[in-house]
Amino acid sequence: MSRGKWHMPARPRLPDPEQGPLQRFAYDLRELGRGKVSVGWIAGHEQTPVSRAALYAALSGTRLPTAETISALLRWWVGNPADEVPDKDETYAEPTWAWIERLPRGHEGRRLATEWRMQHASIVRNIEQERDYRPKAQRVTIAVPREQERFIAELHKLLQLTGLENEPWLMLGSYSSRVERYLAGEAIPTDTTCWNLVELLIDFLPSDVDLLDVTTRLRRSAEAARAGRVRQRRFARNRRTSSS
C-alpha cells in the first residue's frame, strides 16, 4: 500500500539502533514505514485514536510508545483497513488490536502485526522492570494542568449526554469511584479504560452519538492530560533543584 510520501518533521531525532532495544525498535519501525502511507496521513485519518505527536515520537525512540500508538501505525503499514471484515464479533477482543482479527485468514498482516505486538510487549516489560530498580522520582505537588482540565470537561460533557451525570453508579457500577477521581483531577484513565468507560455508557447515550468519535476525543484528551502532568512535574522538580 503506497498512498502518499514519507514525511517526517523538520530535523527529526533519528534513532540509533546501537543504543538499546527502544531505539532499535523505533529504527526498525521507521524502516517498516518507508514507502508506505505517511505518518501525517495516518494522523489525519478519522479512525486513528492517537495524536500526530505520539506517532512521530514512536519513531524517534525518545520515549516508550503506547500499544495504541504502535497499533495505529501497524494497521496501515502491515495491515489494510480496506481488507478488514467489520462484522465479526469483537465482544471479547482487546480494542487496541481488534483490527488484526478483522483481517482475512491467511493475510500476511496478521502474522506481522502479531510479531510487532509481541516485540512491543517485550520492550514494555523490560523497561518496566528496569524502572522498578531505579530510585523513585522526587515527589512534587502540582496544580491540575490545562490539558487535564480539558480532559475533565470532555468527560463531564460525555456524562451529561446520558442524563444521569449525578448518579454515575447507575451506569458505571464499580467504575463510578474511578470516574469521581478523574473528575476531581486526582487520576487520568489509560486508553483502554477510556474505551471501557464509553462501552459502559453506550446504553445510556443518545442513539445519534458517534461512539467512535466520542471514544477518540476522550482518549486523545486523556493522552494530552498525561503529557501535561509529566511536563508540570518536570518543571516543579527543576524549580526545586534550582532553589536548593
The model's pLDDT over 77-92, given as tens digits with 9 standing for 90+, comes to 999 999 998 765 655 5
- Residues 157-178, mean pLDDT to the nearest whole number: 83
Enter the pTM of the model: 0.54
95 and 179 together in one domain: no
174 and 116 together in one domain: no
CA–CA separation, 223 vs 218, rounded Å?
9
Number of domains in the chain: 2
CA–CA separation, 106 vs 84, rounded Å?
12
CA–CA separation, 122 vs 103, rounded Å?
24
**Does residue 8 sit within a domain?**
no
Say what the pLDDT of residue 135 is.
57
CA–CA separation, 149 vs 240, rounded Å?
24
DSSP 128: H
Q: Give the other-Cβ count within 10 Å of 214's Cβ.
A: 20
**Does residue 10 sit within a domain?**
no
| Mean pLDDT over each residue of the chain, to the nearest integer | 82
* SS3 state of residue 45: coil
Is residue 228 scored above 80 in pLDDT? yes
**Does residue 28 sit within a domain?**
yes
112 and 180 together in one domain: no
First to last CA, the chain: 56
With CA atoms as reference, report the closest residue to 225 among 199, 186, 196, 198: 186
The model's pLDDT over 139-165, given as tens digits with 9 standing for 90+, comes to 667 788 889 999 999 999 999 988 887
113 and 152 together in one domain: no
Q: Give the other-Cβ count within 10 Å of 158's Cβ.
A: 21
Q: Give the other-Cβ count within 10 Å of 63's Cβ.
A: 14
